[in-house]
Every structure is written in structure tokens, then in C-alpha cells.
Amino acid sequence: MNKLNYTKYFFIIIGYLISSNISAQTNRALIVTIANYPKNSGWENIHADNDKVYILEMLSLKKFLPAHIIQLSDTLATKANVTKALNRLCNEVQSGDVLFLHFSCHGQQMMDDNGDEEDGLDESLVMYDAGYKYIPQQYEGENHLRDDELGIWIHKLRRKAGEKGRITITLDACHSGTANRDETAYMKTYKEYVRGTTAIFAKEGYVPRPGKHQELSLRLKNEKGLATAAVFSACPAEFTNYEYYDRQRSMYVGKLTYSFCRQINKMKAQCTIKTFFSRLMGDMFSLLRDSSVRRFQYPYMECSDETAPFFIGLRK
């Protein structure tokens, strides 16, 4: 075989290896939506089931296959099942995979259990089987999904996906508010629905104090070998997350879900994560002009690298 043929076959093999690596990359998603909490749980029902409609449409647009989308809703969205789903995702993810995690549910602040919080409070996602109040020796918060726990899973997923991977998380659940529908807040014919509660999940008499071990915080950092990750929340912890009434579809939906999906649909060209967040914030502000109940709310983002390109799904 002459030198020319060696060169030809060399490039064919290299091309095959590159294409094999690209084809092995996969879009993977986990969607957790809790609209209907158990009766007498202390949690009001919300419209998280509608959020799932918007999210699934967005994922379909971005070529996520149903076989690679884990869905947990209402009774299936227990702490144990969500933990199993995150573990399954962590086991299945490969280097270069693109991951999307979405949570629509109530949120609640809790007493910090490891001293890593500046304000002495953990944020948590309220799973289907999570209680509203701290009851000694009966329910002490084991079915809440703390931000520390979620942070550990995100770190594991970032490591598995590697530098060529990407992780995007949307949390349409805030940790403040009343956790109740405000039946007096009417403008035209629309009610007001809130996600979250001002009630801190803690022992009686608990007084939040700055943590003494803030070095344990799992805030996102730009580290070598880890996938870029961005977490979009419906609002900062001290604000309230109000649902939005989509007149075109005649349904309530989480504001973050609505604006996030709308901005994905509007994207014509690639931009940085920072630029996308700016557009997301502008979109949520614009809802003030179009809302029956005008409640100020803006999103919050934590990101390992704001200058990285923003994308959902594999870049073709």
C-alpha cells in the first residue's frame, strides 16, 4: 500500500472516530412537576402540570427523544423517586451529553443543617411527600430536597458529562410567598396563584444565624473537567413566585417556565448564557404589562461560566 493510500485511510479512520463520538452524545432530561399535593398536607395545589406541557414542547423542538426524558409528576414525584431518577441519570450520562433538569413545585426555606449558608437557611424543593411543618420525631424534613443535595447531584452530573457536556436546570419553585391562593386578588376574572411559603421549616424557636462553614457551599464554579452548568430560578429567595395566566391557551403556568420556553422559541442565533439570562429577565418584566394581576418578579441565575454559549440540546 503506497503512502497516499495510508493517508487516505488514516483520515477515514479519524473521521469515523469523530463521527462516532458525536453520535454517542445524547440529550437527556428530567422533569419533575407537582400540581396536586396530598390533602391536609398544608400545601395548596398549583398548575405545575401545565408547565410540563410547555417544557415537553420545548424539548421536542430541541430533539430530545422521549426515551431519554424521565418524567415524575404528583404521586410519583416523591423524594425517593426523584433521588432514584437523579441516580439513574448520573449512571446513564456520558461525556459530552447535554442535560436539562426542570422542577415545578412549591419551595420552602429550612434551617441550615451544615452551616454553609450565609443567612442560616437552606432552600429546598417540596416533593410530593414533604410535610409543611417540622414535627419532632414525626417529620423532620427528610422528604424535602435541599439545595445542598441538589448541588451534590449537579456536581456529579457535571463530572460525568465532562467539559464537552452541558447542564441546564430550571426551578419554577420559589421559597417565599404564602403557599395559598389569594382569593381577594382579582383583576378582571383571574385568580392569583403563588408557589412557595414564608413559613420556615424549622424547630420551634429556631433563629437563623450565619453559617460557620460557608466553605462547604456548593455554589457553581468554573472548574476544569466539569461541564458548564446554569441554574435558572423563578425569583430570588426573598421574592414571591406568581403564576402567569396564558390567555392564548387559557391556562395558568409558572412565569419562569413560560418566559424560558418563549425565549428558546425566539432564539435565532447563538448567544452567551449571560445574554440569554438578560433576555429572560426582560421577558419576565414584559409580563407585568400583560398580567391581570401585576406582581413584580424577576428571575435569578447561578452559573459556572456566564460567557459560555447558551444552548439546549446538542449543537448540530
Q: How are strands ordered across the β-sheet holding 251-254?
A: 194-195, 241-246, 251-254
In this prediction the pTM is 0.85
Residue 11 lies in a domain: no
Give the Cα-Cα-Cα angle 209, 211, 214 (nearest 5 degrees): 155
Residue 131 lies in a domain: yes
What Å distances lie between residue 185 and 1, 50, 221, 305, CA to CA? 82, 22, 41, 40
CA distance 134 to 129: 13
| pLDDT confidence band for 215 (50 / 70 / 90) | very low
DSSP character for 245? E
What is the pLDDT at residue 290?
A: 65
93-131 tens-digit pLDDT: 999 999 999 999 999 999 886 655 566 788 999 999 999
Residue 19 lies in a domain: no
| CB-based burial label for 265 (10 Å; 0-12, 13-18, 19+) | exposed
Query: Does the pLDDT value for residue 177 go beyond 90?
Result: no
Residue 51 lies in a domain: yes
Least confident of 172-176, 215-219, 245-249: 215-219
Query: Does the pLDDT value for residue 218 go beyond 60?
Result: no
Residue 15 lies in a domain: no
The count of domains in the chain is 1
CATH number for the domain spanning 135: value is: 3.40.50.12660
231-290 tens-digit pLDDT: 999 998 778 898 999 999 999 999 999 999 999 999 999 999 999 999 999 999 998 776
Number of other residues whose CB lies within 10 A of the CB of residue 255: 24
Residue 61 lies in a domain: yes
Q: What is the dihedral of CA 143, 145, 95, 26, to 10 degrees?
A: 80
What is the pLDDT at residue 172?
A: 96
Residues 51-61 have a mean pLDDT of 98
71-84 tens-digit pLDDT: 999 999 999 999 99
Percent of the chain residues topping a pLDDT of 90: 64
Nearest to 102 by CA among 308, 209, 260: 260
What is the pLDDT at residue 16?
A: 44
Residue 236 lies in a domain: yes
Residues 208-235 have a mean pLDDT of 77
Range of the domain at 125: 29-310
Query: Does the pLDDT value for residue 180 go beyond 50?
Result: no
288-298 tens-digit pLDDT: 776 554 677 88
Residue 53 lies in a domain: yes
